[in-house]
Amino acid sequence: MFSKPIARKGRGAISNTSGRFETHTIHAIDDGWQANPSPVNFSPESDATHSHAIKRFSKADLTVNDLNAGELCVDELSVDELSVDDLRVDGLDVDGPRLNSQNIECGSRFPQSDYLRTQWQDDKSKTVITRNRSPDIHFDRSINPYRGCEHGCVYCFARPTHTWLGHSAGLDFETRLYAKRDAAKLLKAELAKPSYRCEPIALGVNTDAYQPLERKLSITRQVLQVLHDTKHPAYLITKSSLIERDIDLLKSMAEQNLVSVCVSITTLNRTLARKLEPRATSPHRRLQILEKLSAAGIPTRVSVSPVIPALNEEELDDIVAAAANAGVSSAYAIILRLPHELQTLFPEWLREHYPMRAERIIKAIRSMRENKLNNSDFNHRMTGSGPRADIIQQRFALACKRSGIAVGRDFELDTSRFVPPQVKKPKRSENIENSESSENTEKMKRQLSLFV
């Protein structure tokens, strides 16, 4: 019989269903051996019996510095109280634990928690600026320092993008991350091209640029430094308090009208937030972020997104009022979008956490999406359609008016200050030049010898 997926603490998705590009689908099977959910105790005898399938790792083994570039790494920020020989996972090799859809879903004799350690590896992208031509988006280029996001927001529209990498939009999206550690270098090279024309760059739109892994790698900080040095305008959006680390750069850019920051607040209900966005900063802490950024003179706005009918819809007025008190100058709201795999993942999450309200919420979503779970039409994908969607937009506009803030996503940033970076062409070393000259000399001698 098929095994029902279970919610895992600290993770948003319930399951790890196969992506739409996979030729095979993987299903969890209950064979009767998983009836006892208690942790398995390993004795020396059992370890010896299964020595071919067990590998012990120390804390030192799990740090980035001890692994070669490009190898799969374990995010030590997500490893809670890991002792010297705690981590034992089936099917390991010398490089580190390999996490895939099959050994998550199908289960094994090891505790489930060991399979859900956050892992990351280097992304091999040759460019860092992504461009779009969507008429309903106020920017045409963006930078995402990471693929996948450990915040684990179950509603995230970026989840389906992980299937391009051969992973699942479910738990893989939260646990198998890719980091663009050379993003700053690639950005500088792109900005230095003579054909480049300056327009605001959106930072961290697809996946959060300030997710937990950023605390270790500081890729976003490096990218922001390049934008600061070249006086390039940028939009930022985040849920993380880590953005406060970069207030020095943001403040300097704000003084030249080069930056605006948007903080996403979906709910003020802590219980709902822990289920919707399990590893994101708490809602009230995000209000403090807005206060600190506003106090530093940085233009801020709030994104009340996504609006989920019959779940967080009733909080619209409260969120707008709280954000206005924190100093934001504008706000916008987007109706819940469920592209591709989210049409399976989100209803699955609803039935697990809110079983008595799930069907009502799904019906409300369909009422705004032409009786479908998603409508990708540019005219309606952000706002929805129908009477309920119209009422939500009217309520939101009225709430913003009462709070004295504008409705909209666009800030007019200054593009005239942009100064292209100076990228030095690599010089050939003297050793290489000397070796080439000696080779040419020998070649000429051999040619002359033919005439002697």
Each residue of 399-417: b (16+ CB within 10 Å) or e? bbeebebebebebebeeee
Low-confidence spans in the chain with pLDDT less than 70? 1-6, 27-28, 30, 34-115, 410, 425-439, 443, 445-452
Count Cβ atoms within 10 A of the Cβ of residue 150 and give its class: 0-12 exposed, 13-18 middle, 19 or more buried. Answer: buried
- Strands (E) across 86-204 are located at 119-122, 129-131, 141-143, 146-147, 176-179, 201-203
Instruction: Decide: 170 and 153 in contact? Cβ < 8 Å.
Output: no
Model confidence, pTM: 0.76
Question: Could you tell me the two tokens for 71?
Answer: 């190898």
Give tens-digit pLDDT for 241-259. Answer: 999 999 999 999 999 999 9
Question: How far apart, in whole angstroms, are the C-alpha atoms of residue 94 and residue 397?
Answer: 57
The type of residue at 261 is V
Give tens-digit pLDDT for 5-37. Answer: 667 778 888 888 877 887 777 766 767 775 554
Instruction: Decide: 306 and 272 in contact? Cβ < 8 Å.
Output: no
- Give me the pLDDT at residue 80, please: 37
- Give me the pLDDT at residue 272, please: 95
Question: How far apart, in whole angstroms, are the C-alpha atoms of residue 128 and residue 130?
Answer: 6
- Give me the pLDDT at residue 377, please: 87
- Strands (E) across 168-258 are located at 176-179, 201-203, 234-238
- Give me the pLDDT at residue 9, please: 78
- Give me the pLDDT at residue 427, please: 59
Residues 6+ positions from 142 with CB-CB distance below 8 Å: 129, 130, 132, 201, 202, 203, 205, 206
Give tens-digit pLDDT for 287-345. Answer: 999 999 999 999 999 999 999 999 999 999 999 999 999 999 999 999 999 999 999 99
The type of residue at 248 is D
SS3 of 130, please?
A: strand
Question: Residue ranges per domain, the chain?
Answer: 57-120, 123-407
DSSP codes joined into one string, 25-62: ----B--STTS--SPPPPPHHHHHHTGGG-----TGGG
Pairing mode, strands 406-407 and 234-238: unpaired
Q: Which CATH number fits domain 123-407: 2.40.50.100, 3.30.70.920, 3.80.30.30, 3.40.50.2300?
A: 3.80.30.30
Question: How far apart, in whole angstroms, are the C-alpha atoms of residue 343 and residue 372?
Answer: 10
